[in-house]
Amino acid sequence: MNDDKALSDIRNVIAAGQLDTAEILLRERASSASDPLIKIQCASILLVIGRSEASDEVLENIHEELRDTNENSFSVAQAMRGLGRGDLAVDLLRDMTENDAVLREKAMSFSMIGRYREAIDAVEKISEKTADDSVLLLESLSSLGEHDKALKLSDELFEKHPDSYNVLRSRGGALIASGKDKEAVKYARKLMKDNKDSADANAVAAYVMYIIGNTKPAGAFSSKALRIDGTHVGAMEILALSLMDKDKHKNACIVAGAMNEKEPGNPAAVRILRECGGKFS
């Protein structure tokens, strides 16, 4: 049986609600596959159906097989970080030539596992930085308590990239991290005033309100953002978190799965899948 047919059959088992059987089949498929990317697909499906322990076992086996070879290591490292295993990704990336792609992947992986200083070092070596690279730098500075630097960078990014959702959101996050909740709310309200029909503005407002604990308006803003753009990942994140707060873990996983489909490896989607998956399966 070819890989496409095997995985298609397993998806049919999942659709029928037979998750225990699906886990067994996915473990077997991962064990028998020679291609690490097929194994990665199995790990990804296991994560989405709430079997994070099984997913981790598959990823750790792949890491063990590839740690002493460069074959497919970069693409596998990307996938491992995308499935929430930044620790394994960092190890696979450690001896690679540091071009921008490798540095970017290192930065995201270091950030995922809380090694923020190393994430900053990696971002600063990138020769052609994107807005998202700078957002990661900002968030790492905030996580280290270097709030003045983070806010200064936030001002610069807001001026250069006023239409980037990630930049807009990171500005709210930097204000909250520095203890400036009221300023964060004022910032979110101004975004709403200037762009009341913008999915991004509503999603930023939802994020700010949720983080400071105002969950009711957060839900309203995320709902409005999704009415404007039904695939807005930021708004889906707040929806999923709100569902988790209500112990609706299966629904939260469905939303996180949609997030991950729109943006494979989205860190928030992976965190939600890992946290809530095992609570309904």
Beta carbons within 8 Å of 125's beta carbon, 6+ residues apart:
98, 103
Structural domain including 19 reads: 1-93
Residue 275 located in a structural domain: yes
Q: How do residues 68-101 score in pLDDT, each as one tens digit?
A: 666 668 999 999 999 999 999 999 999 899 999 9
Is the pLDDT score of 207 beyond 60? Answer: yes
Let me know if residue 267 belongs to a domain: yes
118, 125, 198, 184: which is closest to 151 by C-alpha?
Answer: 184
Give the distance between the most distant pair of CA atoms in the chain. Answer: 59
Confidence of residue 236 (pLDDT cuts 50, 70, 90): very high
Q: What is the CATH number of the domain that holds 224?
A: 1.25.40.10
Cβ 70 vs Cβ 97: under 8 Å: no
Q: What angle do CA 89, 164, 118 make, to 5 degrees?
A: 30
Please report, as a single letter, which amino acid is at residue 92. L
| φ, ψ of residue 204 in degrees (nearest 5) | -65, -45
How many other C-beta atoms are found inside a 10 Å radius of the C-beta of residue 104? Answer: 21
Q: What is the mean pLDDT of the chain?
A: 92
Q: Say which CATH number the domain at 73 has.
A: 1.25.40
Q: Of 68, 93, 118, which residue sits at a domain end?
A: 93
- Confidence category of residue 66, pLDDT binned at 50, 70, 90: confident
d(CA 94, CA 146): 27
In a domain, 48, yes or no: yes
Tokens of 15: 């659709």
Tokens 């697909």 belong to 41
Specify if 240 maps to a domain.
Answer: yes
CA 254 to chain centre: 15
Which of residues 71, 93, 115 is at a domain's end?
93
114 CB-contact burial (10 Å; exposed 0-12 / middle 13-18 / buried 19+): exposed
pLDDT tens across 240-266, in order? 999 999 999 888 988 998 998 898 888
**Total count of domains within the chain:** 2
List, as one string, the DSSP characters of 241-257: HHHHHTT-HHHHHHHHH
Q: Which pLDDT tens digit goes with each residue over 92-145?
A: 999 899 999 999 999 999 999 999 999 999 999 999 999 999 999 999 999 999
Residues 6+ apart with CB under 8 A from 268: 233, 237, 240, 256, 259
* DSSP string covering 149-167: HHHHHHHHHHHH-TT-HHH
Distances (CA, A) of 5 to 10, 11, 13, 49, 68: 9, 10, 13, 19, 31
Q: What is the pLDDT of residue 280?
A: 55
Considering the domain boundaries, does residue 163 fall inside one? Answer: no
pLDDT-above-70 percentage for the chain: 95
- Domain assignment of residue 239, yes or no: yes
Is pLDDT above 70 for 278? Answer: no
The DSSP secondary-structure symbol of 34 reads: S
Are 177 and 147 a contacting pair, CB within 8 Å? Answer: yes
Q: Is residue 183 part of a domain?
A: no
Domain membership flag for residue 102: no
**High-pLDDT (> 90) share of the chain, %:** 78
Among 129, 142, 83, CA closest to 103: 129
